[in-house]
Amino acid sequence: MQKRILGKSTLEVSAIGLGCMGMSFGYGPAGDKDAMIALIRGAVERGVTFFDTAEVYGPFTNEALLGEALAPVRDHVVIATKFGFKVDPQTGQMPGLDSRPEHIKEVAEASLRRLRTDVIDLFYQHRVDPAVPIEDVAGAVKDLIQEGKVKHFGLSEAGVEILRRAHAVQAVTALQSEYSLWWREPEAEILPTLKQLGIGFVPFSPLGKGFLTGKIDENTTFDSTDFRGTVPRFSPEARKANRALVEQIETVARKKNVTPAQIALAWVLARQPWMVPIPGTTKMHRLEENLAAESIELNEEDLREIEIATSRITVQGARYSEGSQRLINR
Active site residues: 57
C-beta separation of 132 from 99 below 8 A: yes
Return the closest-CA partner of residue 154 out of 273, 47, 53. 53
Show the DSSP H helices in 15-147 as ranges: 33-45, 61-70, 101-115, 134-146
**CA 222 to centroid of chain Cα atoms:** 21
C-beta separation of 246 from 211 below 8 A: yes
Q: Which amino acid is at 87?
A: V
**CA 247 to centroid of chain Cα atoms:** 25
C-alpha 107/C-alpha 113 separation (Å) is 10
Name the 3-class secondary structure at 15: coil
Name the 3-class secondary structure at 249: helix
C-beta separation of 128 from 138 below 8 A: no
Q: Residue 12 — φ and ψ, nearest 5°?
A: -105, 130
Q: Which amino acid is at 156?
A: S
How many angstroms separate the Cα of 155 from the Cα of each of 29, 83, 84, 131?
28, 10, 10, 16
Long-range CB contacts (< 8 A, 24+ apart) of 168-173?
Answer: 168/135, 168/138, 169/134, 169/135, 169/138, 169/139, 169/142, 170/138, 170/139, 170/141, 170/142, 170/145, 171/9, 172/138, 172/197, 172/199, 173/6, 173/7, 173/9, 173/11, 173/122, 173/199, 173/200
C-alpha 12/C-alpha 154 separation (Å) is 14
